[in-house]
Amino acid sequence: MVSSEVLIDKTWPAVPDTVPLVRHEALAHLHAAATPDPPLNDVGLALSEAVTNVVHHAYVDRDPGPVRVRIEIGVKEIEVMVQDEGSGMIPRADTPGLGLGMPLIATMSERFDIQAAPDGGTRVCMWFARDPSAATLPG
């Protein structure tokens, strides 16, 4: 049996000011759990991109809803989940940015998965190896 610990399972409002708050809290918890870098800053960057996607895409033409972040740390990997209750994965031509969030997440993480959340919205799961030598990008 592999042991793991949930470091964060929390919901914030999906507004721009939430992005740095989530990243800061996640990095503080991961640092306290003796997470090396990499993957420490890889997790922070990918998490910021996923939460930013929720802010810009999930609640179009309606009040911002919640963004849930769950981080679980195991012996060999870190699992990060970002979930919203929005309108799902719908591309928008009118958003700021270059559309590089998902490709960046794919590059930074060991693997990732996007699916419809059980009650509507989108769930993004990302996994990162805890061993710095297994990092997707060298440190």
Tell me how far apart the alpha carbons of residues 88 and 133 are, in angstroms, rounded to a whole number.
Answer: 35
Instruction: Quote the Cα angle for 37-106-83, to 5°.
Output: 90
Residue among 47, 4, 101 nearest 39 (CA): 47
Residue range 68-86: average pLDDT? 97
Do residues 55 and 100 lie in contact, with contact meaning Cβ atoms separated by under 8 Å? no
Residue range 53-68: average pLDDT? 92
* pLDDT above 70 coverage of the chain, percent: 88
- Residue 118's pLDDT is 81
Question: What are φ and ψ of residue 114, in 5° steps?
Answer: -125, 130
Look at the domain 4-134 and name its fold: Heat Shock Protein 90 (3.30.565)
Q: What is the 3-state secondary structure (H, E, C) of 39-87?
A: CHHHHHHHHHHHHHHHHHHHCCCCCCCEEEEEEEEECCEEEEEEEECCC
pLDDT digits (tens, 9 = 90+) for 93-121: 666 665 678 899 999 999 999 999 887 89
pTM for this one? 0.90
